[in-house]
Structure 1
Amino acid sequence: MKLSPLSVPYRVVERGASVVFTAAILFSGASAAFGPAGGPIAVALVGLGLLGLVAYEVTYYRRFAYALDEETLDIRSGVISRRNREIPLRRVQNVDISRNVVQRALGIAVVDFETAGGSETEASLRFVAFEEAKRLQGEIGRLKRGEAADDEGAGPATTELFALAPRELALVGALSFDARVPGLLILLLSGSVPALSSLLPAGSGRLLLAAGVVALALGVVLVAWAAGAVVAVLNYYDFRLTRVGDELQYERGLLRRYDGSIPLDKVQTLTVTDNPLKRAFGYAALRIETAGYAPGSGLGEGGSEAAVPLATRDRVFDLANHIETFGSPAFERPPRRVRSRYAIRYLIAAGVLVGLLYGADLLVARSIPWYGPAALALLAPVAAHLKWKHRGYWLGEDHLVTRNGVLRRRIKVVPYYRVQTVIDTRTVFQRRWGVATVTADTAGSLSLTGHDAAAVDVDAATAERLRTTLDTRLRTALATRRGWVDDADDADENLGSDAGAGTEDETDP
């Protein structure tokens, strides 16, 4: 099978932008070097470049071919050097389709094939007809399910799980905030405060300068909120999530439309996220992470795909339980004494900030209100209590559920059989307080960013029991899943003594 013939002109135009940019540089340089003859020389060079680009794209189209059989996806490509790839279908995790506005008008799409164990796209078809892209997505799903070709007409049952209503889309935008914008704006506007202070009349500088700083801060927050709102609306316009057989399929996007698949048997972790604003209104989001690759990379948290960008908290937990039945967690918080540890940490941070501002005041000989951050010390106990309150863990029958974070709270649900490594870590400061952190590492990509499910600052004795219990339940879940035992309780009893004997701080089952 071949790519769409329209891929040739589209790729030529897509790459022609760099040729136009090069043409502008050549034209100015040639005019300076060769005088009146420079213009025609530059035009000739650009013409040759465009001819070369067209020849390359035509050759690329003629030499690119792909074939899908019962077990593999074969791709042959290459202009100068030939490349043959054979991708086993059992390794294909996701088949994602994306189209921008121009591609939708032309009826073509990009198809990305993601495999387990990698954070990058395994292979791409750029570009095929949209109907062909949907056929490949459905055909690969059928072959992985082991269905016969005769059954393809009926197809698996399709159930719509979630659709984002216009009101909910507006809330997604209203409750979104782009945290990257404040840092960028502060960097760009950092020189405006000294310039503003130099223009203020003598005697009224401090008050007006403080008012200007407050107005600037409010402006930064407003711009960050507006940027987050626009991006969220563009990304999640007409969001739909359906279950097709043993896969979740989603569609979303306004300027760029995405059609993706999430195999249920590859789900590593479910994450329910919220922030203080969403919690106040009773909303949350659900994210799904698969092994080695998080679909929709770059749009979610660390690359994970938003299965539900925003919905009521009850609705989010109902959908999460539809994917992984874990019930209603009853979290066990860390010991109360860790609140003092958090408060001391915040007091030290405020003291360091005061010291830095005081040093800056001495160096620049300006009246900097270096003592201002000292007021943060009054908030340290409140912040410490909130941090303690929003932490905890729960051991369900088949799942570990953890909760961490205040400004961005994450409730992570991990099936026991998905745990790769159980890690017990204790820093110097944790050992002084008699606490530890137990982390359940999975094969998902978010483990690389430190977002694994973790029971943080639990009592040291509790950490030992938790690590042993996780190790035991992991072995039991794997044994039950692989059919080694018929009853999970019997396996738990048989393995309990062996698992309890472990004393290592890091256990690799």
Structure 2
Amino acid sequence: MTKLHPASVPVRSLSRSLSTGTLFFFLGVVASPGGPGNVLVIGSMVLFGIVVGVVYELAYYQRFEYELTANTFDVASGVLSRRAREVPLRRVQNVDVRQNVVQRALGIAAVHVETAGGGQTEVTLRYVDEAEARRLRRRLREGASEERPETEREREDAGETEDLLFAIRPDELAILSVFTIDPGASILGGIALSFASGFDPATFVPADGLESDLPGSGLIAIGWALLLFLLAAWVLSAALTFNRYYGFRLTRVGDELHYERGLLQRYSGTIPLEKVQTLTIKESVPARWFGYGSLAVETAGYAPGQSGSRGAESAIPLAERSRVDALARSIEPFGSTDLERPPSRARERYAVRYVAALCAIMAVGYVLATYTAVVEDWHAVAALLVLVPPAAHLKWRSRGYRAGERYFLTRTGFWRRTTKVVPYYRVQTAVYHQTIFQRRRRLASVTADTASSASFFGRPATAIDVDADRALELQQLLADRLQERLRVRRRRRTLDGWFDDEVDGSSTGESTSGPT
């Protein structure tokens, strides 16, 4: 059995002693016979709490053990109550290695093991040596035995078998930081703006002789507030994105992709190619106008971004579209991306939807203007009606699908155009669905569900607003192609097994006949 790195004792003791010392400080204040001024009693209890914390962490270090066997990864932990976990290596899906600034300075790392079908991390080793973390990641992904030659292990640790596929350039990192809006940063940016400017939403509309914090009134003041809010969110998002993707590089080792990224906190992990379910190519505005895009890879039971401490893990966070397409096709050779668009009547449905939304907004504005002083110029929203036809057309142009020989492709979204590529043999269910509004226009949608789309963050490939009759044909086509590709793969595995038997037989002197 192997223990954690010795540096885990002082690191964990610092955090634990702070919490136990604080607890005993308050206990000393309450229980000291001389009242709060009895410094000696309080200090003694704080010191006792710190000692308790250090002793606990020493016991935790002694009782935390793990072992990597030929078939399982065993972890035993617990001070007061003992807990033992046994994870079969065949169930290991992703192994990530993370390092914050302190861990990088001490030469230690945290290993997070996620299993197939799991929605959260199965096992976490927070304090292991950097070299040990890399060894565990490789061995857990490969499922190999301990009797591997040390020379081979050293060659792999040295990175001699790694092929560099992608490394983010400084200009790409700058563009990614500028054009990425983080939802969490939006909330923090708004809070920071409120505290920094003393802005009060209640002063949008002047009343009782008080002046508004922002120029204008009503919707104009709200517009100024929204502009400042977006500015604060943009600045904070740029900083967070720069920190997250600094030094991003992607390498290939055998049948796996390895990624590393991060400035203050370093992340590294693996993407097993044999378990790839879906490729997702994203092109957001305005990055798309300058010819940039990103590539994400989803594997069985796990979708990018499933871990709460990470953003969407990408094979390429941002690069020129030609580089994105080249890497995507090296993983899955899906060919052309020319898609079939929805029928023109779908465009009419989008226009009706936008007009209805604007009418609802104007109705709410009219009610507020009639009974309150919050909104005065509610009718200004009507000017947006001129944008309805181009908006509907852009939405229609941004949707489509393609049912190729080996892959099913779908596309949706204008502001964040998303193209999904799904191999037919990865499809688990072809779903035909039709809303009440689609039924009126004789439209429907077809979804190709995969193992990755079953997770919380996974979004399946969906052909939206297809002609209803064509959607039924597409659903049957997906089912037929799935069975066809599965038969092809079974034949290939059978032939590979035969050829492997022939090679094994010839190497051992046995006579092995091929298939007849």
TM-score normalised by L of structure 2: 0.86
Give the equivalent residue in structure 2 for 1:505.
none
Secondary structure (helix, strand or coil) at the match of 1:319 reads helix
Residue 204 (structure 2) pairs with residue 167 (structure 1)? no
Matched residues in 1 for 2:120 and 2:481: separation?
32
Cα deviation, 1:124-165, whole Å, max 9, x if unaligned, reads 112111111111122334435999547545548321000011
Give the equivalent residue in structure 2 for 1:374.
382
Q: Indicate how the Cα distance of structure 1 residues 295 and 132 shifts in structure 2: closer, same or farther if over 3 A, else same.
A: farther
Secondary structure (helix, strand or coil) at the match of 1:306 reads coil
Matched residues in 2 for 1:168 and 1:299: separation?
25
**Corresponding pairs, count:** 485
Given that 2:204 and 2:374 are in contact with CA atoms closer than 8 Å, whether structure 1 keeps it comes out as no
Q: Indicate how the Cα distance of structure 1 residues 176 and 367 shifts in structure 2: closer, same or farther if over 3 A, else same.
A: closer
Give the equivalent residue in structure 2 for 1:426.
434
Matched residues in 1 for 2:298 and 2:244: separation?
18
Given that 2:432 and 2:444 are in contact with CA atoms closer than 8 Å, whether structure 1 keeps it comes out as yes
Given that 2:255 and 2:273 are in contact with CA atoms closer than 8 Å, whether structure 1 keeps it comes out as yes
Given that 2:21 and 2:47 are in contact with CA atoms closer than 8 Å, whether structure 1 keeps it comes out as no
Secondary structure (helix, strand or coil) at the match of 1:109 reads strand
* More displaced 10-residue stretch of structure 1: 154-163 or 336-345: 154-163
**Mapping 1:286-297, distance limit 5 Å:** 286-294=295-303, 297=306
Q: Which 5+ residue runs of structure 1 have no aligned equivalent?
A: 488-509
Given that 1:90 and 1:144 are in contact with CA atoms closer than 8 Å, whether structure 2 keeps it comes out as no
**Mapping 1:79-158, distance limit 5 Å:** 79-143=79-143, 149=149, 151-155=152-156, 157-158=161-162
1:292 is displaced (CA, Å) by 1.5
RMSD of the alignment, in Å? Answer: 3.1
Matched residues in 1 for 2:6 and 2:213: separation?
67
1:22 is displaced (CA, Å) by 4.3
Secondary structure (helix, strand or coil) at the match of 2:117 reads coil
Give the equivalent residue in structure 2 for 1:306.
314
Give the equivalent residue in structure 1 for 2:6.
5
Secondary structure (helix, strand or coil) at the match of 2:444 reads strand
1:174 is displaced (CA, Å) by 1.6
Matched residues in 2 for 1:323 and 1:85: separation?
34
Residue of structure 2 aligned with 1:249, choices 240, 251, 258: 258
Secondary structure (helix, strand or coil) at the match of 1:305 reads coil
1:30 is displaced (CA, Å) by 6.6
Aligned amino acid, residue 89 of structure 1: L
Residue of structure 2 aligned with 1:404, choices 407, 412, 423: 412
1:234 is displaced (CA, Å) by 0.2
Matched residues in 1 for 2:443 and 2:272: separation?
38
Q: Indicate how the Cα distance of structure 1 residues 78 and 467 shifts in structure 2: closer, same or farther if over 3 A, else same.
A: same
Cα deviation, 1:168-219, whole Å, max 9, x if unaligned, reads 2111112212244446666885972442543797999997336644433322
1:41 is displaced (CA, Å) by 4.0
Matched residues in 2 for 1:55 and 1:218: separation?
54
**Mapping 1:490-509, distance limit 5 Å:** none
Matched residues in 1 for 2:112 and 2:481: separation?
36
* More displaced 10-residue stretch of structure 1: 217-226 or 95-104: 217-226
Matched residues in 2 for 1:300 and 1:413: separation?
27
**Mapping 1:16-95, distance limit 5 Å:** 16-19=17-20, 22=23, 35-95=35-95
Aligned amino acid, residue 131 of structure 1: A
Aligned amino acid, residue 226 of structure 1: V
Secondary structure (helix, strand or coil) at the match of 2:340 reads coil
Aligned amino acid, residue 158 of structure 1: E
Matched residues in 2 for 1:145 and 1:313: separation?
41
Matched residues in 1 for 2:309 and 2:74: separation?
31
Q: Which 5+ residue runs of structure 2 have no aligned equivalent?
A: 496-516
Matched residues in 2 for 1:145 and 1:482: separation?
28
Matched residues in 2 for 1:376 and 1:211: separation?
15
Matched residues in 2 for 1:342 and 1:106: separation?
57
Aligned amino acid, residue 404 of structure 2: G
Cα deviation, 1:61-119, whole Å, max 9, x if unaligned, reads 11111111221111111212222222111111111110000011111110111110011
Given that 2:281 and 2:294 are in contact with CA atoms closer than 8 Å, whether structure 1 keeps it comes out as yes
1:281 is displaced (CA, Å) by 0.8
Secondary structure (helix, strand or coil) at the match of 1:397 reads coil
Cα deviation, 1:352-398, whole Å, max 9, x if unaligned, reads 11111221222324552111222222211111111110001111221
Secondary structure (helix, strand or coil) at the match of 1:285 reads strand
Secondary structure (helix, strand or coil) at the match of 1:261 reads strand
Aligned amino acid, residue 143 of structure 1: G
Give the equivalent residue in structure 1 for 2:471.
463
Residue 479 (structure 2) pairs with residue 478 (structure 1)? no
Cα deviation, 1:262-290, whole Å, max 9, x if unaligned, reads 11111111111121211111101111111
1:36 is displaced (CA, Å) by 4.2
Matched residues in 1 for 2:162 and 2:210: separation?
72
Q: Indicate how the Cα distance of structure 1 residues 279 and 266 shifts in structure 2: closer, same or farther if over 3 A, else same.
A: same
Aligned amino acid, residue 435 of structure 1: L
Identity fraction in percent: 45
Matched residues in 2 for 1:44 and 1:482: separation?
72
Given that 1:308 and 1:316 are in contact with CA atoms closer than 8 Å, whether structure 2 keeps it comes out as yes
Aligned amino acid, residue 440 of structure 2: R
Matched residues in 2 for 1:450 and 1:371: separation?
40
Cα deviation, 1:443-501, whole Å, max 9, x if unaligned, reads 115653562100001001110111001001111222222238989xxxxxxxxxxxxxx
Residue 15 (structure 2) pairs with residue 14 (structure 1)? yes
Residue 354 (structure 2) pairs with residue 346 (structure 1)? yes
Matched residues in 1 for 2:449 and 2:47: separation?
55
Aligned amino acid, residue 177 of structure 2: G
Q: Indicate how the Cα distance of structure 1 residues 447 and 332 shifts in structure 2: closer, same or farther if over 3 A, else same.
A: farther
Matched residues in 2 for 1:205 and 1:110: separation?
48
Given that 2:362 and 2:379 are in contact with CA atoms closer than 8 Å, whether structure 1 keeps it comes out as yes
Matched residues in 1 for 2:147 and 2:373: separation?
77
Q: Indicate how the Cα distance of structure 1 residues 367 and 453 shifts in structure 2: closer, same or farther if over 3 A, else same.
A: closer
Aligned amino acid, residue 464 of structure 1: L
**Mapping 1:331-342, distance limit 5 Å:** 331-342=339-350
1:432 is displaced (CA, Å) by 1.1
Give the equivalent residue in structure 2 for 1:501.
none
Residue 247 (structure 2) pairs with residue 238 (structure 1)? yes
Matched residues in 2 for 1:412 and 1:236: separation?
23
Given that 2:66 and 2:75 are in contact with CA atoms closer than 8 Å, whether structure 1 keeps it comes out as yes
Residue of structure 2 aligned with 1:390, choices 398, 406, 412: 398
Secondary structure (helix, strand or coil) at the match of 1:198 reads coil
Given that 1:260 and 1:295 are in contact with CA atoms closer than 8 Å, whether structure 2 keeps it comes out as no
Give the equivalent residue in structure 2 for 1:497.
none
Residue 218 (structure 2) pairs with residue 218 (structure 1)? no
